[in-house]
Chain A
Amino acid sequence: MDCVVTGGNVKVLAKAIHSLSRIGDELYLEPQEDGLALRSVNSSRSAYACFLFAPLFFSRYSTPSGHAFRCKMAIKSVQAVFRSLASLEKTVEKCHIELDGQKNRLTFALHCKYGLLKTHNLSFQDSESLQAVFDKDSCANTLRVQPRVLVDTVVHFPLSLEEVTVSLSDERVWFRNHVEDEAGNSQSKAMLTEMCLASDEFDHFAVQAQNSITFCLKELRGLLVFAESTGLPISMYFDEPGSPVVLSVTDSVLEVNFVLATLSDDPSLRKNNTKRNKAYQGKKQNQAASPPPPDDFLNDDMDSYLIAMDTSIAPGTSAAGPPSPPSANHTYSHQPAVACHRTRPHSEDEEEEEEQETDDTERPPNKKFRSLFFGSVFATASQMTNQTVTSQEVLASDSEDDTQTESP
């Protein structure tokens, strides 16, 4: 791999790195045919970000022919290369990123004014490809807005606020801070902030489903840092609570996608969602027929929620696939996102629980981020482009799954 970034694009690259550092601790770097992909995922795997810089972004771009190279490294070390954005803009004329195959180092060389040359040799780890599976085009709601509008919106929320709720109507969008109402008294002490934006502040406003989603603010702030500096509009794609929201920024030479998990807090809402829910019901029956998943599902950490790999949402693959063969992995791979936070194999209990949830309103609502689906395998380049993955495995999990404690 060998690429050169010049002029103002160095700052864009630097901003991208800083933006990614808000997501996770590791930077996944993969030179692809269609450009350099920089990705990151957070530790709970509920947020994923990908920056794809097209070959035209670079003044020179060449990928290794023959074998695919991909690696990951601590994002802090890459951030150190681009530490001071202000001085970067003034002094750096050219940034040369090169793989030193012999020393196994990734070299960032900053060519500065007055012939100054700063070279950073970063060690890296080989890694699997990191890929979230999502489909922007099938989302019911699409909004596109100038970054300034969102910056002016999030400024009203405290930095300590973790999650924000976005609600849609035909003409307006509301941003509210999301307050956990598990402890009744703590809710009453929290300040509630609400911001209302009219639809004509948006460049594009297409709402098919008037619903509200809740997601983490931190990652949105990360993307805003990038979008504001480049002045590119942000598009939001989302469906229902529980399925991921995609925030994207595109330009002729770059494509940025942030995929964030959303909270699914309302069981009744889940019932009302027709298409996916039907699939979910169907899957539940399938699940009942299939044998319990292997032990590692049951022995999942308590503070965990599941990330499964999934091919069913990928374009071209039908969500209502053929009946699953009795392979546990396969069962999970075909579950739509809706069902993903329930990892319990005992379907009878699960159904009971469902009823309980709808009947018993006293209970605190089931608040969990539904997991995102990640393909994370050694896959060939051709497989990556159509976003399908061959093998399925559960990678990691986070968030409390209290249903497991109750299961026998």
Chain B
Amino acid sequence: MKFRAKIIDIGCLNHLTRVVTTISKLTKTCVLRLTADNLFFVLSGKVANGGVSMWCELSQVNFFDEYQMEGVSSEANEICLEVTAENLSRALKTVQNSKVVKVKLTKKHCPCLTVAAELPTLSSVSRVVTHDVPVDVIPRRLWHEFKEPSMPDFDVSIYLPPLKTMKNVVDRMKNLSNFLVIEANLNGEMNLKIETDLVSVTTHFRDLGNPPWGKDPGSQDGGRSQGRDPDSMAHARVDIRKLQQFLTGQQVNPSKAMCNIVHKRIVHLILLHEDASLQYFIPAVA
């Protein structure tokens, strides 16, 4: 099991840092899956973390100038590590202006993901800073827990309004209620609602547009959204903190943000960036 990667480009480093920081806002620990082509940050939906799950996919060529990895074996050429996202985020944050950053899997007092950076100085010798982020190597028999979640058979898929606008709304609503109802239809309309004994508040969004999943060959043909009345709303009631966390933490400035709703079951949020994608699943509560 070997892993070594190098970043020279400061833009790539910056981008990776933002992705990791976004993840660190969503979860304390997550699983980092390394394959020959991709890096995945995975959170599988366990009761302990409120049933939310996350899947973040990065293409290694878009981030690293050098990338070498050797998996557990030739047929299972992967490495699966449990890592504290905040540690990794902090390690990357402090080395923003470095000349070169290396990320390595090392064996110190425990298995570590070592972030080593060479910092520019006035002297002839560079300053070297290393951060040893402890990791747990996940045995192969548990890998099945960290496979890509399948796209839920959603009722409605809709583009999200600007995330900042949505954040402002959700931040206000959080003061009033612990739960939020998110509802949308295939006519480009989405509502964010809270309902308590004292007050009901709804924010309406219009003309958001619906992603053309159905035209995607093969994937969603014949799904629940087919033949659905464009004006009928699908809704899900979710823990408002989970939604807020997602909106507050995100730093990737996605080119596309969308939301799939399975009626009364789950809210599936997707952020797409040219070389990274983040999916976040929030289960509905009764």
Contact = CB atoms under 8 A, between A and B. Distances in A.
A193 interface: yes
Contacts of A194: 129-132
A200 B129 contact: no
Interface string A168-198: 0000000000000000000111111111111
The binding surface of chain B is classed by DSSP as mixed
B94 A200 contact: no
B109 A191 contact: no
B128 interface: yes
A191 B127 contact: no
Contacts of A187: 109
Contacts of A196: 127-129
B128 A195 contact: yes
Nearest to A192: B132
Contact of B90 (A152, A188, A189, A191): A191
A191 B132 contact: yes
Instruction: State which size class the interface on B falls in.
Output: 20 to 34
Interface of B: 84, 87, 90-91, 94-95, 108-110, 112, 119, 121-125, 127-134
Given A155-B94, A191-B133, A201-B125, 14 more contacts: A152-B119, A152-B127, A187-B109, A188-B134, A189-B134, A190-B134, A192-B109, A195-B127, A196-B127, A196-B129, A197-B127, A198-B124, A198-B125, A201-B122
A188 B82 CA distance: 13
Contacts of B94: 155-156
B107 to A, nearest CB: 12
B127 A189 contact: no
A66 interface: no
B99 to A, nearest CB: 14
A191 B91 contact: yes
Contact of B134 (A152, A158, A191): A191
Given A155-B94, A188-B134, A195 B121 contact: no
B90 A158 contact: yes
Contacts of B131: 156, 191-194
Contacts of B91: 191, 193
B108 A192 contact: yes
A193 B129 contact: yes
A42 to B, nearest CB: 27
9 contacts: A156-B94, A156-B131, A188-B134, A192-B108, A193-B130, A194-B130, A196-B129, A198-B125, A200-B125
Interface of A: 152, 155-156, 158, 187-198, 200-201
A195 B127 CA distance: 7
Contacts of B95: 156
A201 B132 contact: no
A191 B87 contact: yes
B238 to A, nearest CB: 31
B247 to A, nearest CB: 25
A200 B131 CA distance: 23
A188 B110 CA distance: 6
A306 to B, nearest CB: 34
Contacts of B122: 201
Contacts of B128: 195-196
Contacts of B125: 198, 200-201
Nearest to A175: B129
A156 B90 CA distance: 8
A78 to B, nearest CB: 33
Q: Which 5 A-B pairs have the closest CB atoms?
A: A198-B125, A192-B132, A191-B87, A156-B94, A188-B110
Given A156-B94, A188-B110, A189-B134, A198 B123 contact: yes
Nearest to B122: A201
Contacts of A195: 127-130
Given A152-B119, A158-B90, A193-B132, A188 B109 contact: yes
A379 to B, nearest CB: 45
